[in-house]
Every structure is written in C-alpha cells, then in structure tokens.
Amino acid sequence: MTGDTRWFLLAVFPKHKPQSSSRAMSQVRVRFAPSPTGFFHIGSARTALFNWLYARHTGGVFILRIEDTDKERNSAEFYNVIYDALNWLGLNWDEGPKVGGSGGGDFGPYLQSERAGIYADYLGKLKAAGRTYEKDGAVWFKLLGERSEVYDEHRKKTVTKVKVAPTVIDDLIRGRVERVEDEDFVIVRSDGNPVFHLVNVVDDLTMKITHVIRGEDHLSNTSKHVELFKAFGAPVPKFAHIPLILKQNGPGKMSKRDQGALVEEYQKRGYLPEALVNFLALLGWNPGDDREKMPIADIIRLFDLLGVNQSNARFDEKKLAHMNMAYLLALPPEEFLGRARDFFRSLGDNAVAKAALAAPEAYFQAVMQLCQSKLKSFEELPAYTVYFFTDEFPTDAKVREKVMTKGAPKERLQELMAALPAMDFASDAAIEAAIKELAAKGGLGFGDYQAVARLALSGTNVGPSITGMFRVFGRERVEQRLARLLATAGDS
RNA sequence: GUCCCCAUCGUCUAGCCCGGUCAGGACACCACCCUUUCACGGUGAGAACCGGGGUUCGAAUCCCCGUGGGGACGCCA
C-alpha cells in the first residue's frame, strides 16, 4: 500500500459482502465503464466517484467494467492507467478485473473483450425475435414502425426514418425525458465486433446493473439503450445523467488535451487524492448546506443522486488548489512526513529530492515539520526546501539586491555572527529572545536581522520562521552561511 | 440543420419542488488587521437571479416564448 492510498483506510467502509438472495434483489449495483484509451480524465474520475459514492451510500456494489471493444484503439498498458487512477483516488471496486486475484465477481468476465460469447448469445435472441437484419456486412437493430426515405442535410445522405413512439427516459437527475429514436443502428460491425450500444446494454443487463450513472453526453444514446432493453424483454435500469465538466477557459466540455484535465497530472504534482475527491464531489453536488471540506465518510453519508445538479460545471483549478492546501494543512505531522517522502521518491532523479532522501531522518523530519504549515502543495517542496538539503542553493538576485542595499546589512551580519556563540539553539523561543535582545541593544527591530539572515540562509525572502530555520540548521551551519554572505557582500 | 439537456456573483453553489427572508456560503480579486519574510488566519468591500411576456396582492422560485451555453446526431466509447 502506498502513501497515496493510505488515507482511504481511514474511511472504513466495508467492501461488498455476499448477501441473501432477497437482499441482493434490491441491492444497488452500479458500474463505471471506462475505455482504455491511455488517459484518465477528470470527468471520468467524477463519473467513477459518483458511482462509487452511490454504491457506498446505499451499501450497494461498485463494478468496474472495461469497455475495450474497439480493438483499433485499445492498448494493453492502457488498462493500468485506469486501475492506477482509481486506486490512487481510493475508489475501490467490488467486482471487476483485479479483484480477488484474477477478476472477482459472479458476473464476469469484466473485460468486454472477453465477453464475445455472451454478446453472441444475446445477438441470437435479437435475431430470433426478428429485430435484426444485415446490411453492408454489419448487423443492424431494427426499429418497429412505418419506414420512409428522407434526405438528411447534415449528413448529406438519404436515411431511412422509422415512425416510432417516443422513448421515455425516466432520469433520476433530469426527470422525464422523451426522445425519438427513429433510425435503425448498427449493433455488430462488419468485422464481427459488437458495437458499444449492444455490449453496454447486454453487460448492464447481465451484470444486473440497477442504476446507470454516467455523463450527460450519453443522454442521447439512452433512447437506443432503452429500446434494446425492451427488445430483450429486460427491465430497464434507472438512469442518472450527471452534468458535464466544462473546460476552465474557452467553450466546450473538458477534453483530454486541456490543461489540468488528467488525473495523472495531479498525482504527479503531489496533490492529495482526498482533496481532489472532495473537490470533484462538489462539482455538481453539494451536501445541502455550506460545508465544503468534508471527510469522505461524510460525503458518502450525505451523497444522493437527487442532490446532483442539472447544469454543467466549469472546472476551477484555483479552488482545487485551495482545497488541496486545506487538506495539506490538516494532515497529521507524521502523515505529512510520509507523504512528503513519497513525493520526493516520485521525483526520481531530481537533485533536491535525492538530497532530501539522503538526509538524516531526524533532520528531514525537522525540516518537514517546519514547512508543513507553509506549503500549498507538494509540488512546491523542492524549490521551497532546496537550501535545507544543499549548500549550493540558488540566490534570488532581486532579493539580494534589495536586502543588501537597505540599511547596514554587513553590520547586522557581523552582529549576528558575534551573538551566535552565546545563543541557545535549543528552542525557537530562545533564539528569538537572543535576536530581540541583540536588536534592542542597537535600537533596532527583529526584522532588521530577519531579512539579512534569511537571505544568508536561504537565498530568498520567503520561507518558514527564521528562528525555526536557525534551530534546524544549527549553530555551525548558520555561522557558515552568514559568513559566506558577508564575504561576498563586497562594497555594497 | 435536427433532436436532447441546462440557465443565481468572474467560478463552484444555497435558495426553486411547497411563490412573500437585506438572494447566503466558498474560490478568486481588493482593502485593512495579525505578523519575523512568505503564507495561514481574521475583518470588510465590490460582485448575480439571461431577456420578454404571462399567472399572482406578490415571481429567483410556477407557465410560455426568445436568447445564450452544453451535448448528441459514427461500422468511437
């Protein structure tokens, strides 16, 4: 178990356990059915999250099914992208690939590429019922009704329209939606592979899915699906079409190419998965009051499909960053420590990361404790802590210019150095007292020493408490760095 | 072009279903306070019911029409 997923253990929710058959009849069964394209999109993450939340809220079953019928587009290593993202987010599935060894659950296999026999069976039922025909080598689903040829200007071709009654979709989020599905559609390609609409319905049917929770972009497919369910004589699941996530700038829904659209990106940047989950939960849903930052257990308890919004939401990276900061601040110190170390490890060859990981445990811990309350995200860690782990840290030229031309920095450095031997490094308070005493003697303020000391120690003007820095560095290194700045101060 | 969905501060949203509160909160932005830098935090400011009709004593809330936004219209999923 990695540090990334450890948080989830705190939200103890029992995994699906076999139920009595009467119980199982009414048990909620939802699925997340991604396609292995090599990307895991923020929108997919939220769809998965809403499904997972609903399952956990109702004590139902969350199923992962991989929709890999398009052999042209799928690639073996892409499957792991899905598993990794879901695991990182803590969205554990009860049935699906990788469960209990080689794919657990009574309704498998959970990879569509392995379900060809099932699709053939169900195709047979449709054929037997006279609801299919072949055209151009493909199998089409036949709608029932009077037919007529119509020229479609948009598609620039003649199509066959079927006079049918509107399909009624009873949507948990949108209410009653009517749509006219008036053209036959392909269910098996000429290469013999079944099409999304067929396999999606057959799988939902055979996996006994009770609630189909998916993006609103599927709403217009739903009439096809409902007609297929009806053709199979199967009960139609409840639908819940959730609003889409729009890109933060410009028109349209978020797509893979948009900045910040991939879950992997936040993982790499050291965002906390619980922060991302909390943020995503709030995109289109809210607990009904002003609460925003909530433990996952609360979100599960409060989540309900009826509380989901109908309008699309624009992705706001700034709000996500704020959520992440709030979670980072609230992390228990030892937890922060572990995750900081995990983050440094994930950086691989990064020089600061290597130096940080090579540092003595106690020192590393002291530095992290000093910095926790200052960071907004782990991605800031290397730049923020570089000077703790190497003497060859960069100096901000502008800051140096500013600090070294104001007042009498060289004198301040000399006074500080002179005071060092007698300084008590045991506590921040003692260090603060010593510097204040020094300042008082010259009729100066703490700040007169703080700026120049910070520049010497860190090469910048931002960072944690200067007294804390003194303590962590220790007398000797403080002395060295003050001396080094003094030596290079020149005539300025 | 056709069909479907949606519409409250810049953004996420509460309020709408069961008409009557200064339309509330959060992010962002600005100011001030706190302070040892930078943050955090605190206080405060600015900021919205898309437009037009209707129903009603009264409409953000109910109805209709516009407009705007989004989605779908593949032998992709």
Place A23 in a pLDDT band, splitting at 50, 70 and 90. very low
- The single-letter DSSP state of residue A248 is S
ipTM computed for the complex: 0.95
Give chain A residues 113-142 with Cβ within 7 A of strand B.
135-138
Band (A156; pLDDT cuts 50, 70, 90): confident
pLDDT at A70: 63
Please write the tens of the pLDDT for every residue from A198-230. Answer: 999 999 999 999 999 999 999 999 999 999 999
Nucleotides of B under 7 A from a protein CB: 1-8, 10-15, 24-28, 36-41, 69-77
| Percentage of chain A exceeding pLDDT 90 | 78
So what's the pLDDT on residue A491?
52
Question: Is the pLDDT assigned to residue A2 strictly greater than 50?
Answer: no
Q: Is the pLDDT of residue A160 over 80?
A: yes
Residues 315-354 of A with CB under 7 A from strand B: 316, 318-319, 321-322, 325-326, 329
Q: How confident is the model at residue A419 (pLDDT cuts 50, 70, 90)?
A: very high
Q: What is the mean pLDDT of chain A?
A: 90
pLDDT at position A103 is 56
pLDDT at res. A450: 94
Can you give the pLDDT at residue A9? 36
Q: Looking at residue A8, what is its pLDDT?
A: 39
Asked whether residue A301 carries a pLDDT value surpassing 70, the answer given is: yes
Q: Of residues 232 to 261 in chain A, which lie within 7 A of strand B by their beta carbon?
A: 243-244, 246, 251-253
Looking at residues A465-482, what average pLDDT do you find?
95
How far, in Å, is the CA of A67 from the C1' of nucleotide B19?
47
- pLDDT score of A73: 58
Q: What is the mean pLDDT of residues A243-252?
A: 92
CA A19 → C1' B10, Å?
50
Mean pLDDT of A252-270: 92
What pLDDT is recorded for position A15?
35
Q: Report whether the peptide linkage leading into residue A109 is cis, meaning its omega lies within 30 degrees of zero.
A: yes
Q: Which two tokens stand for residue A412?
A: 């301040």
Select the more confidently predicted residue: A398 or A48: A48
C-alpha–C-alpha distance, residues A365 and A337, integer Å: 7
Confidence of residue A379 (pLDDT cuts 50, 70, 90): very high
Encode A97-165 in three state secondary structure. CCCCCCCECCCCCCEHHHCHHHHHHHHHHHHHCCCEEEECCEEEECCCCEEEEEEECCCCEEEEEEECC
Q: Provide CB contacts within 8 A for A489, sequence distance 6+.
A: A404, A409, A410, A413
Indicate if A127 belongs to the active site.
no
Question: Mean pLDDT throughout A229-251?
Answer: 95
Average pLDDT over residues A50-79: 87
pLDDT in tens, A347-362: 999 999 999 999 999 9
Q: State residue A474's pLDDT score.
A: 93
Catalytic one of A256, A354, A376, A436: A256
pLDDT at A166: 93
The pLDDT value recorded for residue A12 is: 35
Is A364's pLDDT higher than 60? yes
Residues whose CB falls within 8 Å of the CB of residue A67, separated by 6 or more in sequence, listed in order: A33, A34, A35, A112, A196, A199, A200
What is the pLDDT at residue A341? Answer: 96
Q: Strands, DSSP E only, in A153-210? A: 157-163, 167-171, 175-179, 185-188
What is the distance in angstroms measured between the alpha-carbon CA of A154 and the sugar C1' of B66?
A: 25
**In the predicted model, is pLDDT for residue A19 greater than 70?**
no
Residue A134 has a pLDDT of 95
Confirm whether any atom of chain B, the nucleic acid strand, is less than 7 Å from CB of A160: no
Q: How far is the CA of A320 from the C1' of B55 (A)?
A: 43
Q: Angle, nearest 10°, between helix axes A466-487 and A409-419?
A: 120
Residue A449, pLDDT above cutoff 90: yes
Tell whether the model's pLDDT for residue A10 goes beyond 50: no
Residue of least CA–C1' distance to B71: A217
Confidence of residue A490 (pLDDT cuts 50, 70, 90): low
**Sequence-ordered list of residues with C-beta below 8 angstroms from that of A296, at least 6 positions apart, any chain:** A8, A11, A90, A274, A277, A278
**pLDDT at position A107 over 60:** yes
Separation in Å: B7 C1' and A244 CA: 14
Query: What is the pLDDT, as a whole number, of residue A71?
Result: 62
